[in-house]
Amino acid sequence: MNLVTKGINTENLPDAKGYFGEYGGSYLPPELEKVMQDVEKAYEEISKDPEFIKELKELNEHFTGRPSPVYHAARLSKAAGGAEIYLKREDLNHTGAHKINHCLGEVLLAKHMGKKKVIAETGAGQHGVALATAAALLGLECDIYMGEIDVKKEAPNVSRMKVLGAKVISVTRGTKTLKDAVDAAFEAYLKDPVTQIYCIGSVVGPHPFPMMVRDFQSVIGMEAREQMLSYAGSLPDAIVACVGGGSNAMGVFSAFLDDKDVALYGVEPAGKGLETGKHAATIQKGTVGILHGFRSLVLQDKNGEPLPVYSIASGLDYPGVGPQHSFLHSIGRVTYTTATDREAVEAFYALSRMEGIIPALESSHAVAYAVKLAKQLGKGKKILVNLSGRGDKDIDFVMEHYPLEEYEPEENLKDGYDEFLKHIGGEKN
Ligand SMILES: *Cc1c(COP(=O)(O)O)cnc(C)c1O
């Protein structure tokens, strides 16, 4: 038994130093180097330990509810007018997104290392809630660092974390948002790297996190591969996933990297449009740099300071991207593309109205691109979309800022939603 069985060892990456080609590695203050080496060594051991793998598998099944289903979105496919669209339903996981997959792995690792406490930063609170959940389950303390502005903005998630027993530490310095929360969490980690461990929320950060988080997420791809063969009768022709840091995308891509006939698409947030500068499309617009301890494409200014980034989906709002994505882009194995805020909102409504599934705004970016791609690929082809999370958290925001009437004149509800879907293809406003 192994944690990962297929695909991700293509090119055997990362290498021993944590590089995917020229990307990745570990760029840390000397005090943290030894700490990361300990994490790496512990992961090396447990990732081959049948007991650990069994424990994680049981939690995945009986706690999270895995495997998550693959579902044929027949009405959406019909309306898109081309390839058949399938959804990998990570939105049905306990806590409502894919993040629980790596949080369970990380907290289980912490426990095996004898740690008492897990710490992390969070922006919108999604990673904080998933980590607080895993910490509650496994009986560890949990400190979540969050910018003061985000604490106010994301009150329901702050309450969820508190109910789950986590301590939410409001960070009042600097911009009082995610960047300062990262700094504060790193400082806390430096003060006591023995009893606590930093749990990163995506396939980013210093080695071994991009590898480790990918491995914990690879369960998505392994399941989806089998499910497509048994349910849809073949592998998909294309897979589409949204990319913030890139963990849900790496999770689903990892099992298909060796399948050269399966085209892979990563969708970054174009926000209000790439030309406006208000986006977080790191692969499209970034340059090589170092951010949060790793080398990758980064949205940065001339001095290497991360640029302010923006997306309607706070989970995609990050000025870097996982190093394996930069690598897969450089070798052309994955095609990276974008969807705007508006396209995402339209896909949000489309999936809700046509399939009864309210997607997270992050995941809506993938749905929006899949609808376009379905037309291009044409009939007889199959597209698998990784539906990374559910949209309950986004409902109030969408209703307030993008009211339905603007998008959906009555007559568009009639046959096949053709008119409505036409908009998904194009930028407006
Ligand atoms: C956090 C989040 C994302 C973005 O994270 P990745 O690491 O890029 O996968 C995407 N979808 C949902 C629902 C999220 O909560």
Kindly list the distances between the CA atom of residue 317 and the CA atoms of 62, 63, 170, 272, 341, in Å, as whole numbers in the listed order: 32, 29, 20, 13, 12
Pocket test of ligand 1: the residue of 178, 240, 247, 351 to mutate, having most ligand atoms within 8 Å of its CB, is 247
Distance 264 CA to ligand 1 centre (A): 17
For residue 426, what pLDDT is reported? 45
- Identify any residues that bridge with 70 across adjacent strands, giving them in sequence order: 88
Tokens of 315: 């989970």
Shortest-distance atom of ligand 1 to CA 390: 13
| 372 is a catalytic site residue | no
- More reliable by pLDDT, 11 or 220: 220
Q: Clarify whether 388 is annotated catalytic.
A: yes
pLDDT number for residue 424: 57
pLDDT reading at 3 higher than 80: no
Reading phi first (left if > 0) and then psi (alpha if -120 to 50, else beta), residue 278 is in beta
CB atoms < 10 A from the CB of 302, how many? 6
Pocket of ligand 1 (CB under 6 A): 97, 99, 126, 202, 242-248, 315-316, 360, 362-363, 388-389
Q: Whose CA is nearest to atom 1 of ligand 1?
A: 315
Q: Which residues contact 278 (CB under 8 A, 6 or more apart)?
A: 271, 272, 310
Q: Assess whether 99 carries a catalytic annotation.
A: yes
Ligand 1, atom 5: closest residue by C-alpha: 244
Angstrom distance (rounded) from CA 345 to CA 313: 10
pLDDT at 409: 47
Q: What is the mean pLDDT of the chain?
A: 92
Q: Is the pLDDT of residue 10 over 80?
A: no
Q: What is the DSSP letter of 232?
A: I
Statement: the pTM of the whole predicted model exceeds 0.85: yes
122-132 pLDDT per residue, tens = 988 999 999 99
Which tokens belong to 207?
């080695």
Reported as a single tens digit per residue, the pLDDT across 276-319 is 999 999 999 999 999 999 999 999 999 999 999 999 999 999 99
Which SS3 state, helix, strand or coil, does residue 144 take?
A: strand
Average pLDDT over residues 318-332: 97
**pLDDT for the residue numbered 6:** 45
Q: Convert the pLDDT of each residue in 374-395 to its tens digit.
A: 999 999 999 999 999 999 999 9
Q: What is the pLDDT of residue 63?
A: 98
Between CA 320 and CA 178 the distance in angstroms is: 13
Give the H or E element holding residue 89: strand 84-89
Lay out the sheet containing 167-171: strands in order across.
167-171, 141-147, 117-121, 196-198
Cα of 246 vs centre of ligand 1, distance in Å, is 7
pLDDT of residue 161: 98
User: Which pLDDT belongs to residue 2?
Assistant: 54
CA dihedral 113, 118, 123, 125 (to 10 degrees): 110
| CA–CA gap between residue 364 and residue 244 (Å, rounded) | 13
